[in-house]
Amino acid sequence: MEFRESCCIGSSNGWLVFLEHKAVPFLFNPFKQIKIHLPSVDYLLGLKKMERNEDGEYELDYLKKNQRFFFKVCGKQQVRECFIQKAILSGKPDCNENFSVVLLCNNREEIAYHQRGYNSWTVIDVSHPPYRDIICHKNQLYALSDNNSIEVWDLGGRDYVGRIVNKSDIVLPFPYKSHTKGNSLRGFGTSKFYLVESCDDLLLIVRFIGDYVDFDGTLLTEWDLLTETCTQPKICPYKTCFFHVYQLDFDELKWVEVESLNDRALFLGGNQSVSVSVQSFPNCETNSIYFTDDCWEQMEEDYNYGGHDMGIYNIKDESFKPIYEFSSDKIQPPPCWIIPSAMLESQLGQCVASSPGYKFL
């Protein structure tokens, strides 16, 4: 199939989510070659026009908060940065499930969903925008907000006007270790956050990305770039430096640091975050985080770099290794993880069998 005019905005349950250049999304299963059309998101995003001109630029005309904007962007990833930050599914469309497609959009301020059988998108009534991440698990939607709270909605429940019912609002203290580390590295980079369901536990992954990193892993400031000791070919504009992993203790309402994932591996990036067992994926390294580049706001800032920030992180020894060796550091569009739903289903019994569970600090 031809996807030249489309932008991948998510991966979930073995399906890819694409956005066509006229703001019409669709689902695609690369393993079964099935395509499912979805309702247009032009009204949801306030788009009056989204077209590609002869120069390859995207012309955008949209309304936001009663203000009209018109501008041009060069790449499809910039379109994604502007409008849709994440797209996930609550189920598997190929199994005739009553699934929903959920979007984190409009600068992470809004969450919208489309339920199978309907021809529209509905904006969820949220309480604590903007949001850092969303995930679907057991027909419930979890959203992590910037104020560290987690909102939970029941995707199977509706009120009298058909809106999704808010189930709970959990306010949590931010993990002290990550807070302290972030403060000590302030001015060197930014953090990204991911929610991952793993064997019925809810994990929080904190990923620190240095704004400028030497190839030996040393964090640099903009001032360092001006000194004679730093030469441009040795500088990467942004790069992941470390991860912290936590599990939510629902009884104590706090994040507990995880020392080891045992036989699990995590996959993070532009996809719905996934935990897998290396028993089902023998080529995966245990106790590791596989990550791809999802820094949409920085991918077009540098001519030589973009989409390059990917690798394998070992939680035990805090080491990094490449997934593949690339001849170029400008990788557009960036890779996106996709895992066949049948392989994920085969792991359900393994979660019960892995009795040791996680090791905590």
pLDDT of residue 171: 87
pLDDT, tens only, 215-242: 777 788 766 666 645 555 457 789 999 9
pLDDT of residue 300: 79
pLDDT of residue 158: 72
Q: How far apart are the C-alpha atoms of 71 and 81, rounded to whole Å?
A: 14
Q: What is the dihedral of CA 63, 64, 66, 67, to 10 degrees?
A: -70
Confidence of residue 324 (pLDDT cuts 50, 70, 90): confident
Mean pLDDT, range 181-202, rounded to an integer:
88
Confidence of residue 350 (pLDDT cuts 50, 70, 90): low
pLDDT, tens only, 97-112: 678 999 999 989 999 9
Q: How far apart are the C-alpha atoms of 288 and 268, rounded to whole Å?
A: 11
Q: What is the mean pLDDT of the chain?
A: 84
Q: Are 329 and 232 in contact (CB under 8 A)?
A: no
Structure tokens at 89: 């599914």
Mean pLDDT, range 160-170, rounded to an integer:
77
Confidence of residue 332 (pLDDT cuts 50, 70, 90): confident
Structure tokens at 216: 């030996």
pLDDT, tens only, 61-75: 877 777 777 767 666
Q: Are 249 and 255 in contact (CB under 8 A)?
A: yes
Checking if the pLDDT of 357 tops 50, the result is no
Structure tokens at 206: 């904190």
Q: The whole model's pTM is what?
A: 0.89
Q: For residue 280, give the nearest of 322, 340, 335 by alpha carbon.
A: 340
pLDDT, tens only, 235-272: 778 999 999 999 999 899 999 999 999 899 999 999 99
Q: For residue 151, give the nearest of 130, 179, 175, 176 by alpha carbon.
A: 130
Please give the backbone phi and psi of residue 357, each rounded to the nearest 5 degrees, phi first.
70, -160
Question: How many angstroms separate the first and last alpha carbons of the chain?
Answer: 48
pLDDT of residue 143: 96
User: Concatenated DSSP letters for 26-61?
Assistant: EEEETTTTEEEE----HHHHTEEEEEE-TTSPEEEE
pLDDT, tens only, 20-50: 877 889 999 999 999 999 999 988 888 877 7
β-sheet bridge partners, residue 101: 89, 114
